Amino acid sequence: MTAPRSSGPALAVVGATGAVGTVLLQILSQRADVWGDIRLIASARSAGRVLAVRAEATEVLALTEDAFHGLGPGDVVVFLTPAAVSARWAPVVTARGAVVVDQSAAFRADPEVPLVVPEVNAHAVRIRPRGIVAGPDCVTAAMSAALGALHAEYGLTELAVSSYQAAGAAGRAGSEALRRQLSLVAGTSLGEHPGDVRRAVGEDTGPFAAPLALNVVPWSGELCEGGWSSHELAVRAETRRILDLERLPVSVTCVQVPVVTGHSLTVRARFENPVDAAHARKILEAAPGVVLVDDPAAGEFPTPADAAGTDPAWAGRVRVSLDDPRALEFFVCADNLRKGAALNATQIAELIAGEFAYFAL
């Protein structure tokens, strides 16, 4: 027999049956229970499925206006959906007075929608004229907690980033494509001839611009002016918004790698004054949402295999640039499905729930 629900605000999860939605339901079972009614919503083809939420069997509702019936002020609806779905349905929710937390790209550039990583700019949640709060792209989220802590201490003036993105960021289609490609190349000579991998995979590149198995693909998104990809420009714009540095020089290169879960980034951050690596490590050790793993002599540094399935960003390889005493270089990894999406959305939703609980006292 399950325990009765708490009397807190209602939470609706749209996209509950997707890869990120599955992780979010796990996270709800691991965190303090601040929610009353929890309802799960997905496309019509998933309606009727029964999923466990905090050990309670919950039927998935089809995404229609009826799915939001009874929601109002104080309630939260999390969208884990493509941008077009969020853009269509978020206004339906906010018209009822509930707050939307959207994890898609639909509202990330909207000046009336705060873009939030709670470890960095939780205060921004409170000012939401459209009733919507956005979470950033999973690459931006992976580095934000570490970068935000260093910025608060040193004052960031310039940023260069290369991302090494997991296949899982493209959803189940990405993970399945990588596994399929790996099985295709497993029986080949694996590199005896330069074209082995491409011939084995053929046209089956899935959501990627080129074969990902035994390969890296320096591309993510659509082509933009100057040869930049839309994903690279999005990470640049989102980082500026989250840190409230609208003129920050930012250079981003997005690379997809044959890893199922866990984004990694090399970061070169330049600050207002000279930096000290030992002090920077202390800052990262104390930073919320960051785990420091930095002892290369002992073979200790972060990898996506370490970060997968965990909540924090893992930071290491912290060192001062050889050519600039004001520049710090480091490596960071994070689970793209957890901190990159589901956990960040959950944290934002809990901030909003706490807001309404405070005013209800």
Residue 124 lies in a domain: yes
Q: Are 197 and 211 in contact (CB under 8 A)?
A: yes
Dig out the tokens for 173 from the structure: 């289609």
Residue 3 lies in a domain: no
Answer yes or no: do 158 and 223 share one domain. yes
The vertex-42 CA angle with 40 and 43, nearest 5°, equals 160
Answer yes or no: do 271 and 320 share one domain. yes
Answer yes or no: do 226 and 296 share one domain. yes
Residue 55 lies in a domain: yes
Residue 60 lies in a domain: yes
Q: How far apart are CA 313 and CA 118, in angstroms?
A: 13
- Report how far apart, in Å, the C-alpha atoms of 40 and of each of 4, 17, 60 are: 18, 8, 5
Answer yes or no: do 89 and 147 share one domain. no
Q: What is the pLDDT of residues 242-276, one digit of tens each?
A: 999 999 999 999 999 999 999 999 999 999 999 99
Answer yes or no: do 184 and 244 share one domain. yes
Q: What is the pLDDT of residue 357?
A: 60
Answer yes or no: do 170 and 307 share one domain. yes
Q: How far apart are CA 91 and CA 97, in angstroms?
A: 10
Active-site residues, by number, are 138, 263
Report the CATH number that the domain containing residue 185 is assigned in CATH: 3.30.360.10
Report the CATH number that the domain containing residue 116 is assigned in CATH: 3.40.50.720
Answer yes or no: do 186 and 123 share one domain. no
CA dihedral 147, 149, 150, 156 (to 10 degrees): 70
Answer yes or no: do 230 and 121 share one domain. no
Number of domains in the chain: 2
Answer yes or no: do 95 and 181 share one domain. no
Q: What is the pLDDT of residues 44-55, one digit of tens each?
A: 999 999 999 998
Residue 194 lies in a domain: yes
Residue 300 lies in a domain: yes
Answer yes or no: do 198 and 292 share one domain. yes
Answer yes or no: do 309 and 165 share one domain. yes
Q: Model confidence at 172, in pLDDT bands (50, 70, 90)?
A: confident
Answer yes or no: do 107 and 128 share one domain. yes
User: What's the pTM value of the predicted model, to 2 decimals?
Assistant: 0.93
Is the pLDDT confidence value at 360 over 50?
no
What percentage of residues in the chain have a pLDDT greater than 70? 94
For 283, the domain range is 140-336
Residue 83 lies in a domain: yes
Dig out the tokens for 181 from the structure: 């490609």
